[in-house]
Chain A
Amino acid sequence: DAKTTQPPSMDCAEGRAANLPCNHSTISGNEYVYWYRQIHSQGPQYIIHGLKNNETNEMASLIITEDRKSSTLILPHATLRDTAVYYCIVRVFNSGYALNFGKGTSLLVTP
């Protein structure tokens, strides 16, 4: 699986958009980008995933650059409940099927 790089921490004001970057410069053509988050004392929670097109669901949007070497997870209107550690994971869609979580980005949403 390709290695990912995320900033260790970020702040965001409540109600504003939170943009969480992830670099994955060694990503290969058949690897997807997954995002999970872990709220304190809970298990990780799936957010979204994509291959090369931008994706949106009820939780977030995922923007993947054209060269696929980086991506951004966007929480359009962050709330205090979005305070969590966000993990960007890159892996082949259906091989091995074990996700390796790195250190992630600790997002603090402030009032």
Chain B
Amino acid sequence: DAGVIQSPRHEVTEMGQEVTLRCKPISGHDYLFWYRQTMMRGLELLIYFNNNVPIDDSGMPEDRFSAKMPNASFSTLKIQPSEPRDSAVYFCASSLGPGTAAGYTFGSGTRLTVV
């Protein structure tokens, strides 16, 4: 099993540009989560999906952020337009439904720098 795969690993973009982060969850996992991590705020949950349907997006900072999960094997997090304060490491995680002993499996993250 390749685990949760995120791309790109690093992204540097200019303020105002659109940024798209990608995630491939573990096959068979029916929950997918997007987290953001900064030094100041730690790990923050942005949004999560169950069976491709967004369940809670209350952590999405503002309308510039959007997330989609068109199928069970792919999700995107888009920022448009990007701002310097969006610079952070973005993690995707997946899991089986409630009751699994394995918990979450996280990807390696995408380090986003907006200049």
Contacts and interface: CB of A to CB of B under 8 A. Distances in A.
Interface stretch (A3-11, A14-22, A36-44, A76-84): A36-44
A-side interface mostly = loop
A4 to B, nearest CB: 13
B56 interface: yes
A100 B43 CA distance: 8
Interface stretch (B12-20, B69-77, B79-87, B103-111): B103-111
A19 to B, nearest CB: 22
B-side interface mostly = strand
A69 interface: no
With most chain B CB atoms within 10 A of its CB, the pick from A34, A41, A94, A99 is: A99
Contacts of A100: 45
A49 B48 contact: no
Q: How large is the interface on A (under 10, 10 to 19, 20 to 34, 35 or more residues)?
A: 20 to 34
With most chain A CB atoms within 10 A of its CB, the pick from B43, B91, B104, B109 is: B43
Contacts, number: 51
A102 B42 contact: yes
Interface residues of B, number: 24
A97 B33 CA distance: 10
Contacts of A44: 43, 91, 93, 104, 106
B109 to A, nearest CB: 6
Interface in B86-115: 91, 93, 95, 97-99, 101-109
Interface string B2-36: 00100000000000000000000000000101000
Contacts of B4: 43
A49 B101 contact: yes
21 contacts: A36-B103, A41-B109, A43-B93, A43-B107, A43-B108, A43-B109, A44-B43, A44-B91, A44-B106, A46-B102, A93-B99, A94-B97, A95-B98, A97-B95, A97-B97, A98-B33, A98-B56, A99-B45, A99-B103, A99-B104, A103-B42
